[in-house]
Structure 1
Amino acid sequence: MASEVNKGAPAAQATARHIEDLILEGSLRPGDPLLPEREMALRLNVSRPTLRQGIRLLEDKGLILAEPGGGRRVAPLATSITDPLVELMASRPEVVEDYLELRGTLEGMAASLAATRANDVDRETLGRCMARIDQAHDDADPRDEAEADVDLHVAVYEASHNIVLLQIMRALSGMLRKGVFHNRQKLYARPEVRDVLRAQHRAIHDTIIARDPEGAARAAIDHMHYTRRVLAEIVAAEARLEISLRRIEGGSIAQRR
Structure 2
Amino acid sequence: MDRKVNKGASAAEATARHIEELILEGSLRSGDPLLPEREMALRLDVSRPTLRQGIKMLEDKGLIVTDAGGTRRIAPLATSITDPLVELMSSGGRVVDDYLELRSTLEGMAASLAATRANDVDRATLTRCMERIDRAHEKADARDEAEADVDLHVAVYEASHNIVLLQIMRALSGMLRKGVFHNREKLYARSEVRDVLLLQHRAIFEAVMARDPAAAARAAEDHMGYTRRVLNEIAAAEARLEISLRRLEGGSIAQRD
TM-score (norm 2): 0.98
1:80 deviation in Å? 5.9
Measured in 1, the distance between the counterparts of 2:117 and 2:145 equals: 26
Measured in 2, the distance between the counterparts of 1:212 and 1:79 equals: 31
AA of the residue aligned to 1:255: Q
Partner of 2:47: 47
Measured in 1, the distance between the counterparts of 2:30 and 2:80 equals: 11
Measured in 2, the distance between the counterparts of 1:39 and 1:198 equals: 42
Partner of 1:184: 184
1:48 deviation in Å? 0.7
Runs of 4+ in 1 over 3 A off after TM superposition: 79-82
AA of the residue aligned to 1:2: D
Measured in 1, the distance between the counterparts of 2:50 and 2:117 equals: 36
Give the conservation status (yes or no) of the 8 Å contact 2:150–2:177.
Answer: yes
Measured in 2, the distance between the counterparts of 1:160 and 1:2 equals: 22
Measured in 2, the distance between the counterparts of 1:242 and 1:82 equals: 30
1:2 deviation in Å? 2.2
RMSD: 1.0
The number of equivalent residue pairs is: 257
List gaps (5 residues or longer) in structure 2: none
Q: Helix, strand or coil: the match of 1:73?
A: strand
AA of the residue aligned to 1:216: A
1:220 paired with 2:220, answer: yes
1:79 deviation in Å? 3.3
AA of the residue aligned to 1:144: D
Percent same amino acid at aligned positions? 82
1:247 paired with 2:247, answer: yes
Partner of 1:87: 87
AA of the residue aligned to 1:32: D
1:135 paired with 2:138, answer: no
1:81 deviation in Å? 7.0
- Segment of structure 1 superposing worse, 94-103 or 76-85: 76-85
Measured in 2, the distance between the counterparts of 1:102 and 1:141 equals: 28
Partner of 1:144: 144
AA of the residue aligned to 1:54: G
1:15 paired with 2:19, answer: no
List gaps (5 residues or longer) in structure 1: none
Partner of 1:193: 193
Measured in 2, the distance between the counterparts of 1:165 and 1:159 equals: 11
1:157 deviation in Å? 0.3
